[in-house]
Structure 1
């Protein structure tokens, strides 16, 4: 484990605070979002199509907001994200209140995606660059694992509270609470967040900057074989993961036998949150069991897909909850390993850009996977759609195996090793 000095500890505290606040804000609706959409009069297909428009927004805006993060600063990107997400969440509430037509949901869902793209890549890049600048030379699994645990705690509190509040009041109140928390986080970030170890480049014209960002994403992402194959796996893993998380709400309520038991939907999200805490704690320990980081990712996808297939034939509510907990823990334990793997292969100046592009690849899968599985749920039921999701997730395996075969230095790096050089640069390069 690399030594953690006072400056690095402060950076970690700020990062964990931002993670806590953002996840808490988001999680107030996670336990009831699908029920909220259905209550607004949307069908299962329309509900997941709305989610697909959200992921479409992420795909459309990942690169332009990458320009903001790398050209105007990661702090600026974070602040814009909180404002955009708060405003679009309030619009979501108004759509529910007035039972608006589907086209309105599609537009606002795209705006929600825009809000999240300001966060994706930027905050993670801010952490890594600031940590390296502060003199931290350790591995990243431990840092990302702690963030995963903090995120899980916030999700546990927010999702349970959101479900209970929705049952005590109505499905719209958790959305208003999210707006309030996001505005608080804007104030926190404005006060404590500063770009450290990174100098924004603001000299280029926006169109030229966007082209430059896209070129950097391709050069340091898709043209870098071990990174490319992880990116190509993302549409199948992320697309299925997004669908499953939201489909579990009506799926579990069907098994429970009470479609109005919103607290049960909150409980499902809380179980995912608790599993996320455990997974974050396990991540650096599980890493020690494997010689390569890519092996962790391969094992995770294999187990996750198998659990989804079994969930598709489960008829017992409590068994489904147990399987849900294991599924979430497996995914949570793999995520910090994947983050460390990618970050150790990306140069500093393009870090936010390439991470955003990786997020874009995952979101692109959600555009297709969510409505397809939502339609399958309408026709065959939610259990069958979950099993189909497991089969789709298996498509990611050949890509992860291909990444492993590249034998990248970052694949074998362990906590405490020096980060792998990328194109002659290291993550410490400002």
Structure 2
């Protein structure tokens, strides 16, 4: 009994909680990133046009919008752990369905339905892991700033993304485009087992409430605590512009760089390029905490990172050089990766614990709204080429800058280093 008590106590220390958080973040990213370097190529190989491929991604966004609030009920009322387990299971199943559709030469409507299912799976993740680690750390007496925690998690995500992207691209070229998808399903199931053993809801008490009433309440909370709260409103409204641009560029970069390189079947190269973006993400995550010690205000870092990443996209879209485009996209990834952990820490410093997963999910939902530009950008890529649409995505991202400026003008205490 004494040994069991010691093990239980060790599992609830701030260090153990952060280790579990990093392990789950890294394992799920390793799984999901197996296809990131080849996803668009996979859809095009299945017979879809650019318009249809990016429309399928838009249906993924539909899944996010439809299920973000309902699955938020699971995280905030039943537990963050349960939400994570369900997300892993649904994503594993929907990824396997993608492989079957590729084998069957399925029609577009089937891809659209499968993409909605993928979005459904991801909604179980959004907000749940962040809410879990913040509540668990506070229950364990952690008194440090969250910027470093999220920065380390982003670095771990980058390492996993680098490994997954390279491995997925190499396996696609050596064996077939289907193999990374099969491995992704298997790794997601492995993450499910890890979470079932080591992830426990700390600092959180389940709430008994009817689902319909809970959903109405969570939607109301999302608006009241999110958009109606002046401390969060403008920062959250910047999400659709950054999310829409980021979602399109990440997937358009795959065929665009192969086009510049001159070999549309260099799948391994596509994976390596995605890994370079991941390497930039690692550096950005590592830099987040040191930069916060130097720069007094979080919004200063956000503005500089947003402007730098926007300029990098302009260069990536205008150049005709493969290597310049690679460097520009790496710079884009580095800048955004510095912004994201700082933004997450700002949000978590404001949101109350009981509503944390709900409001973070709502913030993720707003970011997903920008994904509806993908069919339009995909059609423009068919007509004008990828370079034009990447420049257009930089304009979309730049529209977020005034919202960060509005957040900065509030001079909220959580914006300062001392907070």
Please, what TM-score do these two structures have when normalized by structure 1? Answer: 0.94
Aligned partner of 2:6 in structure 1 is none
CA shift, 1:41, in A, is 0.5
Gaps of 5+ in 2: 1-9
SS across alignment from 1:50: helix
Aligned partner of 2:31 in structure 1 is 25
Find the partner of 1:272 among 269, 273, 277. 277
Aligned partner of 2:193 in structure 1 is 187
Q: CA–CA distance in 1 between the matches of 2:105 and 2:77?
A: 40
Aligned partner of 2:74 in structure 1 is 68
Bigger proportion of residues as helix: 2
Q: CA–CA distance in 2 between the matches of 1:148 and 1:241?
A: 16
Check the 8 A contact 2:239/2:367 in 1, yes or no: yes
Q: In the alignment, does 2:134 pair up with 1:125?
A: no
Aligned partner of 1:207 in structure 2 is 212
SS across alignment from 1:118: helix
CA shift, 1:292, in A, is 1.4
Check the 8 A contact 1:5/1:135 in 2, yes or no: no
Find the partner of 1:144 among 142, 147, 150. 150
CA shift, 1:347, in A, is 0.2
The structure-2 alpha-carbon separation of the partners of 1:6 and 1:56, relative to structure 1 and needing over 3 Å to count, comes to closer
Deviations 1:177-211 (A, max 9, x none): 0000011111111111110001111x211100001
Check the 8 A contact 2:20/2:198 in 1, yes or no: yes
Q: RMSD of the alignment, in Å?
A: 1.3
CA shift, 1:289, in A, is 3.8
Check the 8 A contact 2:58/2:371 in 1, yes or no: yes
SS across alignment from 2:399: helix
Aligned partner of 1:94 in structure 2 is 100
CA shift, 1:5, in A, is 11
Aligned partner of 1:297 in structure 2 is 302
Q: CA–CA distance in 1 between the matches of 2:358 and 2:417?
A: 23
Find the partner of 1:388 among 389, 392, 407. 392
Q: CA–CA distance in 1 between the matches of 2:363 and 2:329?
A: 26
Aligned residues, how many? Answer: 410
Q: CA–CA distance in 1 between the matches of 2:306 and 2:65?
A: 23
Deviations 1:92-141 (A, max 9, x none): 11111111111111111010001011001001100000001100011011
SS across alignment from 2:206: coil
Gaps of 5+ in 1: 418-430
5 Å matches for 1:247-286?
247-286=252-291
Moved more, 284-293 or 11-20: 284-293
SS across alignment from 2:209: coil
CA shift, 1:297, in A, is 1.4
Please, what TM-score do these two structures have when normalized by structure 2? Answer: 0.96
CA shift, 1:353, in A, is 0.3
Q: CA–CA distance in 1 between the matches of 2:21 and 2:182?
A: 25
Q: CA–CA distance in 2 between the matches of 1:336 and 1:146?
A: 9
